[in-house]
Amino acid sequence: MEKRTVNLKIENKVEDRKLQGYASVFSEEYTKIADMWGDTFNERIVSGAFKDTLEQKADDIFMLVNHNWDKVVGRSGSNLKLTEDEHGLRFELQVPNTVDGNDLLENVRLGLIRGCSFGFNVIDSETRWLEDEFYRDITKVDLFEITATAIPAYSNTEIACRSDLSLKDIKPKTEEKTTVVKEQVEVKTVVENRNKKMLKNLLKNIVKIESEEK
């Protein structure tokens, strides 16, 4: 599962215990990200990326505190409303009257928690190389959770260190694709030749057995 953190203002309406804001925003600009090996690439999430997952998991997306599954404060279909608009992934949380919920409200009020993050898997993306830089446009995600976090955000010009991601897992280089196709053709040829040889030997053995029986 991948995670992203953005520095977004959470709107706090204490009188009705409601928090609202954006867990992700769409942008024309890319964010530079560093993977666990120090390799960097440029990434952005495009409009429409959340559409399918919001429809398919209408009551199965959660809101957490600091990505901690022991601190669940919301669930879609219950006290958490998630929508995608032209700006990004918007949430509205009716904060529960629980220890974690009350702590969250107080931390937002004090300004200790000001960021949002979300956990997801990439379903579809478009990638390309441009002047020795790798770019990824995420077009479709499987969203698991959004979270309120105190972790500082990164701007589009900063590098976000990612310990859970390896760039080689997402770089579909053209030369690698060509090699894979070539290898597949070679394997297919080897298998076909092997099958032909096996069939030929089988026929020879059948003929031999029939001759011996006579």
pLDDT single digits (tens) 5-62: 555 555 655 557 899 888 888 887 888 888 778 888 899 999 999 999 999 998 999 9
> How far is the C-alpha of 130 from the C-alpha of 132, rounded, in Å?
6
Give the tens place of pLDDT for each residue, 166-195: 556 555 544 444 344 444 445 445 556 666
Structure confidence at residue 208 (pLDDT): 60
pLDDT at residue 34, rounded to an integer: 80
Q: What is the DSSP string of 164-200?
A: T--GGGT---HHHHHHHHHHHHHHHHHHHHHHHHHHH
What is the band of 82 on the pLDDT scale with cuts at 50, 70, 90?
A: very high
pLDDT, tens digit, 9 for 90 and up, residues 131-168: 889 999 999 999 999 998 887 554 433 444 444 555 56
Q: 95-113 pLDDT, tens per residue?
A: 999 999 999 999 988 888 8
For the purposes of burial, counting CB atoms within 10 Å of the CB of 113, is it exposed (0-12), middle (13-18) or buried (19 or more)? Answer: buried
Res. 209 pLDDT band, cuts 50 70 90: low
pLDDT value of residue 122: 92
- If you average pLDDT over residues 206-214, what whole number do you get? 60
pLDDT recorded at residue 47: 96
Report the mean per-residue pLDDT for the chain: 77
Structure tokens at 91: 């949430």
